[in-house]
């Protein structure tokens, strides 16, 4: 079911993205909006296949993430892609969403009953706003795809870590998100409109779905990590390392721009180098999550006997208290 | 002079009121337990309890319909004698204790029955409130250890799916859960 949900999300997002790009080939702004819409439908399809659609009205942090935070962020990015409002208002909108993100996600929970200092909420808001605004702006001008790819990886790692820490549904929800983002990125890259394929291949100020998809990935990653940390058992260090990954994919670019020689710039700007750098914290998080799973929940799950009926077998010369499984249970155990 | 009968009437009324006043009891955590059990793979029962419970009972023995019962269970205090499983149960796949920290019962109607009380009320768990009727067996007051004490026992069967628990987690652990409440309460 999980594989089907991930592939379904990716396929729907890729197909809709390609169709949208094809229909609007002479209108780049429309194509950009289409890629965001493709992501949305990919997520919906994936969650449907996973049987994890959020409840309405939203009652949990995960519901509020999927029903409120992510759609609002995507609406803002659709506005940005379509050039409907000015940059100042976009920045203001992103700032408002960043400021309200944590209170919305934690609404009604014990975290907002005096347990969470306002400074933590403000710091989280500042982090989201700065990374959202800064990275999206950079992607808009450079057409860089590395951060979007890293957020796909970040979503997968966040999902695995949350699931292995004991919140299966919270972790699994991340996988269709990653699938839909990967599908939409694929369509945006490969099935993009003719104006981009014939050009330099970069965005360079022309409207594109890439900044919006990158922003969607960043906000999704942030929301998922916050609910995973606050409602699941995702540790603070793991949460920070996951959120750090996209920044590590961008940081070398910024440092490279400060360097005078072109060799250093080339090295730091290299996609392979940046992906490797971003993968380091993600791999660490997965290894630690797996070790934690093995020592805690793995034992709990591993001790589950196969659901075969058990019958007492009493015969001469045999321990009368020995339990034997009915025929077929051993093969079932072997299969499981 | 005409004021005297009125004053007397008020005094009698107050006295009568005090005679009918309900007895207020506090939940005795030390001598009580709220446990639960659910089917495991449909072959056995898995059992647990909640360690942090509070409540208030107001018993009007003359007019039981004026009695009230309330119970608040801290979901975070779930204890199945396995720390890893308890952590798992606290997460959103099960109780989601950060979002829904308490499980509550509030009575809405009480009537006396031969062995105790039939108490209708609302049961709130996992953010969902449902009407339930409990048959509380007990209610006899005794005096011991310097306090007046009363005790009740009851069982409540419910389905986790009715309380919006994650359906993906209903399988190995059965949908139906039985909550067993054995509580003592005390007053000075």
Q: What string of pLDDT tens digits covers the 188 residues of chain B?
A: 455 555 555 555 544 444 557 888 999 899 999 999 998 888 999 999 999 999 999 988 888 899 999 999 999 999 999 888 899 899 998 999 999 999 999 999 999 999 889 999 999 999 999 999 999 998 888 888 888 899 999 999 999 989 888 877 777 888 899 999 999 999 88
Q: Residues A3-20: pLDDT tens digits?
A: 888 888 888 888 888 887
Whether B161 maps to a domain, the answer reads: yes
* Out of B92, B101, B172, closest to residue A60 by CB: B92
Whether B3 maps to a domain, the answer reads: no
Q: Residues A160-180: pLDDT tens digits?
A: 999 999 898 999 999 999 999
Residue B163, phi then psi, degrees to nearest 5: -110, 25
For residues B188 and B185, give the distance between their C-alpha atoms in angstroms, rounded to a whole number. Answer: 11
Q: Is A62 on the interface with B (CB under 8 A)?
A: yes
**Residue A298 pLDDT:** 76
Is residue A313 scored above 50 in pLDDT? no
Whether B132 maps to a domain, the answer reads: yes
The two tokens of residue B161 are 């799916």
Is residue A87 scored above 50 in pLDDT? yes
Q: Tokens 């992510």 correspond to what residue?
A: A70
The C-alpha angle A38, A250, A253, rounded to 5 degrees, equals 125
The two tokens of residue B3 are 């004021």
Cross-chain Cβ contact B92/A230 below 8 Å: no
For residues A56 and A135, give the distance between their C-alpha atoms in angstroms, rounded to a whole number. Answer: 32
> Which residue of A66, A164, A231 to mutate against B (max B Cβ within 10 Å)?
A231
The two tokens of residue B177 are 């859960």
**Residue A178 pLDDT:** 95
Total domains, chain B: 1
Predicted-complex ipTM score: 0.79
Whether B35 maps to a domain, the answer reads: yes
Whether B65 maps to a domain, the answer reads: yes
Contacts of B82 in chain A (CB under 8 A): 300
Contacts of B43 in chain A (CB under 8 A): 307, 309-310
Bridge partner list, A36: none
The residue range of the domain holding B73 is 22-187
Chain mean pLDDT for chain A: 81
Is residue A229 scored above 50 in pLDDT? yes
**Cis? peptide before A225, omega within 30° of 0:** no
CA dihedral B13, B19, B24, B28 (to 10 degrees): 170
Whether B6 maps to a domain, the answer reads: no
More confident residue, B18 or A92: A92
For residue B61, what is the domain's CATH number? 2.40.128.110
For residues A54 and A62, give the distance between their C-alpha atoms in angstroms, rounded to a whole number. Answer: 8
What pTM was estimated for this model as a whole?
0.82
């Amino acid at each position: 079911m999980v594989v089907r949900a991930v592939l379904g999300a990716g396929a729907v997002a890729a197909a809709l993205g390609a169709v949208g790009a094809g229909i609007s080939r002479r209108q780049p702004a429309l194509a950009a909006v289409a890629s965001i819409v493709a992501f949305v439908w990919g997520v919906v399809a994936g969650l449907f296949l996973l049987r994890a659609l959020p409840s309405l009205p939203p009652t949990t942090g995960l519901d509020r993430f999927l029903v409120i935070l992510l759609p609002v962020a995507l609406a803002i990015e659709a506005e940005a892609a379509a050039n409907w409002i000015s940059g100042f208002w976009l920045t203001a909108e992103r700032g408002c969403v960043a400021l309200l993100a944590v209170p919305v996600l934690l609404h009604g929970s014990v975290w907002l009953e005096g347990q969470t200092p306002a400074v933590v909420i403000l710091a989280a808001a500042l982090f989201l706003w700065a990374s959202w605004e800064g990275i999206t702006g950079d992607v808009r001008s450079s057409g860089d795809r590395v951060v979007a790819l890293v957020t796909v990886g970040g979503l997968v790692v966040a999902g695995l870590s949350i699931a292995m820490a004991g919140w299966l549904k919270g972790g699994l929800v991340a996988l269709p998100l990653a699938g839909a983002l990967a599908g939409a990125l694929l369509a945006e890259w490969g099935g993009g409109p003719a104006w981009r394929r014939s050009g330099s291949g970069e965005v360079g100020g022309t409207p594109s779905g890439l900044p919006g998809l990158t922003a969607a990935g960043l906000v999704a990653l942030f929301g998922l990590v916050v609910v995973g940390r606050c409602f699941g058992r995702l540790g603070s260090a793991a949460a920070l390392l996951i959120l750090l990954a996209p920044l590590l994919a961008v940081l070398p670019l910024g440092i490279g721009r400060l360097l005078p020689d072109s060799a250093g710039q080339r090295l730091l700007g290299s996609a392979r180098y940046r992906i490797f750098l971003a993968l380091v914290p993600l791999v660490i998080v997965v290894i630690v999550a797996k070790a934690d799973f093995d020592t805690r929940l793995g034992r709990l799950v591993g001790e589950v006997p196969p659901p075969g009926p058990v019958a007492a077998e009493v015969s001469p010369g045999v321990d009368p208290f020995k339990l034997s499984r009915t025929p077929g249970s051993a093969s079932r155990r072997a299969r499981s | 002079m005409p004021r005297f009968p009125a004053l007397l009437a008020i005094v009698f009324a107050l006295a009568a009121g005090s005679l009918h006043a309900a007895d207020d009891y506090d939940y005795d955590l030390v001598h009580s337990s709220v446990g639960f059990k659910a089917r495991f793979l449909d072959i056995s029962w898995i059992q647990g309890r909640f360690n942090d419970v509070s409540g208030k009972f107001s018993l009007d023995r003359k007019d039981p319909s004026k009695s009230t019962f309330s119970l608040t269970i801290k979901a975070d205090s779930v204890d199945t004698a396995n720390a890893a499983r308890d952590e798992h149960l606290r997460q959103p796949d099960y109780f989601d204790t950060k979002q829904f920290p308490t499980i509550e019962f509030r009575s809405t109607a009480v009537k006396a029955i031969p062995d105790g009380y039939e108490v209708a009320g609302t049961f709130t768990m996992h953010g969902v409130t449902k009407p339930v009727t409990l048959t509380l067996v007990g209610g006899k007051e005794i005096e011991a250890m310097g306090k007046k004490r009363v005790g009740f026992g009851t069982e409540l069967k419910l389905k986790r799916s009715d309380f919006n628990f994650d359906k993906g987690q209903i399988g190995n652990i059965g949908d139906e859960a039985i909550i067993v409440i054995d509580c003592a309460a005390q007053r000075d």
